[in-house]
Structure 1
């Protein structure tokens, strides 16, 4: 209700309304043009920024396939899985680690004493191995180093097999140890040992197969690659452990060639032995019984194998 004025007359009211309508029509038309030019016909409810105004789709729907003239986005290359792939330099390679002797051999003296054919002669199935003066067995040493080397090699992509993992009552015999590597078609085999030389004799050495042929033995095809494996092993083991080549074997080069070991004579794949040190020498024994040193020894062995397989 208005105070202080009277309602307009009927004729005057219609005239005023007409004037207002005439004034509003152009204004509305200009507003419509401005709204249209700013994209007001687009559907802004579902498309988000840059929406196309098409039908609303669920956020979980797959994008439409590219038109016939468009190319699909490139697919990221899959891992090659081939040797030398980043982080897996030994992918596709088979390595056999032969932990010398067996912790349970001592419980089966008659079985490990039986003779087996090594091609050129007959020798014992196996032996108990040596030990430090304090009683730390070679068989325990070889298993520990072998297991550490396996972890390193598997991390690099290799398939690693053991001749024994302390899970056999004894052995295997030396001829079976060779056969395990052969049947695996191993790219490299390393037999891990520690020596039992006289006190005062120190250092490590790598044993290479001699070229022999006789009976079931024929190493003619593996002597050259086995030497390359042994040379790699010698260099990397010395670098990892700080040990020097044994001066009491051969010419002190750290390499020794032998034709009387069944594990080498019967092998048809590259294979070497490594004598990691002399368990009967107090200074070498101090290293061989040290956990940190055994880890370094495993690194040296794993690196030697890796370098050989990546030649």
Structure 2
């Protein structure tokens, strides 16, 4: 999402410029034939003990090991062949042991339906509902008429959605947000949270900004995070978290969510810095990494705690090198997940 305080759009339109587009474990050994036979009583005793020991070893071996492998030490050179869940990247070495020790919880469908059948596992975030809003949609480029439709955001009317930005090499914001969101979902579900998406590859375009807000409201989410990347000028670097300002106009009333949203945003900003090793924006938020906005429909129409996070600037080469790296995207997802967890549990 390119940043412009004077630009009225919720997700800012990507403008094409010059053709840019957007030792294995020990086991039982064979008996030595040269070894003399023992007394019958001893043989019976040993015969009774061996099966029990074997069963115990098998059970212990099945339970051994973490739920999730530790990330590799080396940073992947490119994100082109890595999918959601890959480890590594800057900041990965700063992870705490709790990244892989939580048990997975029930997943939720993108349409808000019941989680898949099967036994649910408890975790620290069991009972908590988190809605993830991947900014933009890869199909928006093919549906400009539909996304240009104006929708009511309470304070005024704005475009349904926009295409988003991209790196100079053509890696789109929509691709980035979907990838980070998938990684974030895995981390939160592993801790027991019920996770819903505003869209999950099931729509040709959108959803519109007002519907994105309704999805979080209807889910009665404990937290909503809208994932984005910025499209500002070269030299503008770093992340920032957008918080809802106080708005009471038309259908918009953020009075109940301003305080909890700020807590959510502050915790995400802190965890994101610590986990990714990147710094807050040098062009938005006065070095705090926080920016209060009153012109975003996705925030104005929300009735549950919600924030946007601009993970970096796709138009700056240094930031783009991070955003296109799969290992860094995993670190970004981990940072957001830690912030969400801290907010939901009141920790840190």
| TM-score with structure 2 setting the length | 0.64
Q: Secondary structure at the match of 2:242?
A: strand
Q: What pairs up with 1:144-155 in 2 under 5 angstroms? A: 144-155=179-190
Q: Which residue of 2 aligns with 1:115?
A: 150
For 1:101, the equivalent position in structure 2 comes to 136
Deviation at 1:167, TM superposition (A): 1.7
1:255-294 to structure 2, matched below 5 A, reads 255-294=290-329
2:334 is paired with a residue whose SS is helix
Distance in 2 (alpha carbons) for counterparts of 1:103 and 1:166: 9
- Of 251, 261, 277, which residue of structure 2 is paired with 1:242? 277
Aligned counterpart, 1:126: 161
Structure 1 SS opposite 2:255 = coil
1:91 Cα offset (Å): 0.3
Matched residue, 1:7: none
SS at match of 1:168: coil
Match of 1:227 among 253, 262, 271: 262
Q: Give the equivalent residue in structure 1 for 2:177.
A: 142
What is the match of residue 197 of structure 1? Answer: 232
Equivalent in 209, 218, 233 of residue 174 of structure 1 = 209
- Report what 2:69 is aligned to: none
Partner of 1:50: none
Larger radius of gyration: 1
Pair 1:209-2:209 in alignment: no
Moved segments of 4+, more than 6 Å = none
Separation of aligned partners in 1, 2:151 and 2:276: 35
What SS is found at the alignment partner of 1:277? Answer: strand
1:111-166 per-residue CA deviation (whole Å, 9 max, x = no partner) reads: 00111011101111000000000000000000000000000000000000000112
SS state at 1:104 partner: helix
RMSD, matched Cα: 1.2
Q: Within 2, Cα distance between the matches of 1:121 and 1:247? A: 30
What is the CA deviation profile of residues 33-84 of structure 1, one whole-angstrom value per residue up to 9, with x for unaligned ones? xxxxxxxxxxxxxxxxxxxxxxxxxxxxxxxxxxxxxxxxxxxxxxxx9xxx
C-alpha separation in 2, matches of 1:128 and 1:91: 35
The gaps in structure 2 that reach 5 residues or longer are 1-104, 106-120
* Distance (Å, rounded) in 1 between the aligned partners of 2:220 and 2:299: 15
Aligned equivalent of 2:345: 310
Give the CA deviation at 1:87: 6.9
Partner of 1:159: 194
SS in 2 for 1:179: helix
Paired with 1:250 and 1:239, the residues of 2 have a C-alpha distance of 18
User: What secondary structure does 1:202 align onto?
Assistant: coil
Return 5+ residue gaps in structure 1 as ranges.
Answer: 1-80
Within 2, Cα distance between the matches of 1:251 and 1:302?
A: 24
